[in-house]
Structure 1
């Protein structure tokens, strides 16, 4: 009996795990949201497993770690999971040893190569698009022709815009649109709200859906993605979504908080354990 109890305690699938969006939840640009650092310290002190879950495929986990460190939050490289990582995991699972033509930044290319995916423009299995500064007519044309020749079309995330200090700028969804229009082929997006990203993230932490919490500021990516993955969803009002916006959605979060500062990881209950 004692051995069984010890095994239950050591089983990570029975412990709470937190999947946290970054922009609008932890930070706005290069400024921390009040209480974010303290929340992360609570996670570390309580030895909870957690990942920062971001749709941005441009940056590597190392670059994201340095960004948070510059703002005062110290975590490990392994505490990040990006849409680039989800894309690499998906391709590796679907077709080990595959090849891809990539329009994307360092973060995407690094993850694909680490997964054993060959980057090439010669008869690739996939065309993959992510956030990048290297986007021009010749690359759009090459991607279009390769898809028409049989390459499958993937993209890291459906976000049309991304935040910058000066305002919104085109993100992956906007870069994909011209290629979709010309080829008539819709890209398969691997980032949020696709629950497959949540699946690979949970697999990385080796935790169960029942004890997984998704914390985000967007109803159309974080919350619906967590909902469809079976997670307990926590909406924070420090980013994109306001209370007035909630009435427009046919689905609702399990919890609503003003900011991440109001979430206590020790006492929050999974939706599966809350009194009904």
Structure 2
């Protein structure tokens, strides 16, 4: 009998690092397939559509489909779709977020929207920030797809979506409601999609402050792998503790 009946798996640092696949990640996902255990790819990335994320995963050798991908953009759009007080939005973001909001049937407007949503936007500029701030000061609710302050890239640590949100929060005095990891909304959405209960599910990731904290906040067991952001020493010193830890995904026992 398997220990868990469903898996939520982080991407960068867990299944690949930048442009390089993590071989044990490939074997980990293949083993899930062999055992017939359902899983989803679980990411704070809001810039890409699920099908684009799946396409990238396939270049690494993962047999991924868009239906297996949960992004912070899709979770945000679905969260707002269920909110009776939100029908119109103004969004700062890239293709993944804009498409998700459109597919959720939310109307786009710059003048007095019900909500402002901010996702990573590498075309961010003053006019976008001004429009967002004026809308929030006029009463629009403020949401962020995720609160990651920095993004690890080949160039080094670059500004993440949390940095954009911090600027807008400073200018308006209003803090955003975040949807992505480690906050509960993305986990609740992913569990509904996966079809398993909290006690049956395992979150797998390399980052204490997003992947593992999502499990702590959401009451879901977690597996921290030391292949990405968090080191064993950082894990030992942290108040955030994973249910399980492994140096490499090849060390995980599914049974």
Whether TM-score is above 0.5 comes out as: yes
Which of these residues, 13, 28, 31, is aligned with residue 24 of structure 1?
13
Aligned-CA RMSD value: 1.4
Map Cα deviations across residues 232-275 of structure 1 (whole Å, 9 max, x no partner): 1100000111111123322311111012222233x1xxxxxxxx
1:58 paired with 2:47, answer yes
Residue 4 of structure 2 contacts residue 202 of structure 2 at CA under 8 Å; is this kept in 1? no
How far apart are residue 183 of structure 1 and its match? 0.5
Which of these residues, 148, 158, 175, is aligned with residue 164 of structure 2?
175
Map Cα deviations across residues 162-220 of structure 1 (whole Å, 9 max, x no partner): 12222121110011111100100001110001022111100011211111000111111
Which of these residues, 235, 238, 254, is aligned with residue 249 of structure 1?
238
Q: Residue in 2 aligned with 1:110?
A: 99
**Matched position secondary structure for 2:215:** helix
Which of these residues, 206, 213, 216, is aligned with residue 205 of structure 2?
216
How far apart are residue 42 of structure 1 and its match? 1.0
Distance across 1 between alignment mates of 2:141 and 2:85: 15
Residue 25 of structure 1 contacts residue 259 of structure 1 at CA under 8 Å; is this kept in 2? no
Q: Residue in 2 aligned with 1:90?
A: 79
Map Cα deviations across residues 69-115 of structure 1 (whole Å, 9 max, x no partner): 11111121111100001101110111276111000000001111111
**Matched position secondary structure for 2:41:** strand
Which of these residues, 77, 97, 114, is aligned with residue 66 of structure 2?
77
**Matched position secondary structure for 2:223:** strand
How far apart are residue 228 of structure 1 and its match? 1.7
1:125 paired with 2:114, answer yes
Q: Residue in 2 aligned with 1:225?
A: 214
Residue 103 of structure 1 contacts residue 134 of structure 1 at CA under 8 Å; is this kept in 2? no
Distance across 2 between alignment mates of 1:70 and 1:246: 31
Residue 7 of structure 2 contacts residue 40 of structure 2 at CA under 8 Å; is this kept in 1? yes
Residue 55 of structure 2 contacts residue 64 of structure 2 at CA under 8 Å; is this kept in 1? no
Q: Paired residues, what number? A: 253
TM-score norm. by structure 2 comes to: 0.95
1:194 paired with 2:183, answer yes
Q: Runs of 5+ in structure 1 lacking a partner?
A: 1-13, 268-276
Distance across 1 between alignment mates of 2:194 and 2:82: 18
TM-score norm. by structure 1 comes to: 0.88
**Matched position secondary structure for 1:128:** strand
Q: Residue in 2 aligned with 1:42?
A: 31
**Matched position secondary structure for 1:52:** strand
Q: Runs of 5+ in structure 2 lacking a partner?
A: none
In the TM superposition, structure 1's runs of 4+ consecutive aligned residues that sit over 6 Å from their partners are: none
Distance across 2 between alignment mates of 1:83 and 1:55: 5
Residue 212 of structure 2 contacts residue 223 of structure 2 at CA under 8 Å; is this kept in 1? yes
For the pair shown, the structure with the greater C-alpha radius of gyration is 1
